[in-house]
Amino acid sequence: MPPFFRTMLLALVLAPITLTAQKSRFVEIKTTKKITVDSLMSRYRLNGHRENRDYFLGLNRIISSELKAGKYALPISSYPFNGKSIRSSLGLDDWSTAEAVLAYNDLLKKKGVRKKSVVASKTIWVPYHLHNGLPAVTSKPVATKTPAKPKPSKKKASTPTGPPIAKASNGSFPIFGKKYAKVKAKSNRLKGCVYYIVSGHGGPDPGAMVRKGKTRLHEDEYAYDVSLRLARNLIEQGAKVYVIIRDPKDGIRDKQYLGTGQNERCWPNDPIPLDQIERLDQRANAVNRLYKQNKAMGFRYQRLLMVHLDSRGTEKNIDMYFYHRLKDNNSKRFSQSLMSTIKRKYEQKRKGRGYTGYIRGRDLHMLRETTPVATYIELGNFQNPNNQQRFLLPSNRQAMANWLTEGLLKKP
């Protein structure tokens, strides 16, 4: 491609970047014979980033490294090209990311994987490892044609019929399960504080998956268990707590292998949609509505915590780390305060081990589209055998919840 044309394709010539990228869909492929996951990743030049492979496995709900003949969604999202530039089509301010996306598309065209260029096909392919900050991808895969814009859902959110997981009392909270339903107040240190806890994935989206022997484990179940334990701790300290993603049956579970299912609902009791954009919007809207209601009632201190497990390949041992909202000092300070507590607990419990957690700003949907001061917590690497002990042992899940609670008692 001539350098001048390449520059024009990357840049928005007429005005600064203010556009929002259109919604995208996963690229779908159809295989007629058995192939390996690694060969598929290699063909689409995805093998240089382990997260592409992990996301592919979770997206298609498979664990085996060998694929049967059939249809599969790739960890590549297809966006409409607006005929002007990569940056304006994707809503990107970052030039380097736009260059990387264009280089990826050019490479696939050169290798014959893509039959047409970005301009000729009017679509831009974005691999998962370059997807940070772009609009979320829908779960329904499509080929390279520009997708029709999804129709907005006409279904109204459910109306709460009773109190939330609310202020601490000697009452009963069935969401914690029979064993832990009774919650006794220990203090009023968090009286007047409101917390929204959103565990990652849920419903039709299990997140990362691993296999232990013959047992299949899903990320969302473990993130949810830690979230429930954290919510219960906060209620004991006088806080008003909302568990946004909730399962009426699971409760807190004191076992290593947590059963899987799709029973999770979004506050107050809405089914979680299949479409990823709708899923993220649903939980963000739930948080924002509650925030507005509580603010009107005089609650000034409100915080949002999103709880996830990372997935980076079996070899990567990862300590708990945090993301904050971009250009938001309150979100950054909130995350820093929590991390300082986690670092101190590591030093107390594991002297000499060190702590490698960190804080970074990210333009993630749930940070960008929510109102309360927020932090996005990654508890560790679900794929790593050492990290798995952090999640599998109930005592360790409780310890993580306790450490986070200790940090929240500072009211950062």
374-401 tens-digit pLDDT = 999 999 988 888 888 899 999 999 999 9
Distance CA 383, CA 55 (A): 12
Distance CA 250, CA 263 (A): 9
283 shares its domain with 221: yes
220 shares its domain with 342: yes
119 shares its domain with 199: no
Last residue of a domain, one of 97, 126, 142: 142
Whether 123 and 80 have beta carbons less than 8 Å apart is answered as yes
Domain-located, residue 103: yes
**What is the percentage of the chain residues whose pLDDT exceeds 90?**
51
381 shares its domain with 291: yes
Residue 293: Cβ within 10 Å count: 12
180 shares its domain with 137: no
Domains held by the chain: number: 2
Of the pLDDT bands very low, low, confident and very high (cuts 50, 70, 90), residue 23 is low
384 shares its domain with 254: yes
309 shares its domain with 395: yes
84 shares its domain with 184: no
116 shares its domain with 209: no
Residue 67: Cβ within 10 Å count: 18
Phi, psi of 295 (to 5 degrees): -65, -40
- Bridge partners (DSSP) listed for residue 85: none
Predicted local distance difference test score (pLDDT) of residue 164: 53
226 shares its domain with 368: yes
Domain-located, residue 258: yes
Average pLDDT over residues 286-303: 96
Domain-located, residue 137: yes
Domain-located, residue 321: yes
Whether 302 and 411 have beta carbons less than 8 Å apart is answered as no
73 shares its domain with 188: no
Domain-located, residue 168: no
Of the pLDDT bands very low, low, confident and very high (cuts 50, 70, 90), residue 157 is very low
Residue 127 is part of which domain span? 3-142
Task: Cite the beta strand spans of 134-262 per DSSP E.
Answer: 137-142, 193-199, 209-212, 215-218, 240-243, 245-246
pLDDT score of 180 more than 60? yes
- Comparing 370 with 61, the larger pLDDT belongs to 370
pLDDT score of 42 more than 60? yes
Classify burial at 292, counting beta carbons within 10 Å of its beta carbon; exposed 0-12, middle 13-18, buried 19 or more: exposed
How would you label 88-127 residue by residue, b for 16+ Cβ within 10 Å and e otherwise? bbbbbeeeebbebbbebbbebbeeeebeebbeebbbbbbb
182 shares its domain with 318: yes
Whether 50 and 23 have beta carbons less than 8 Å apart is answered as no
Prediction pTM value:
0.66
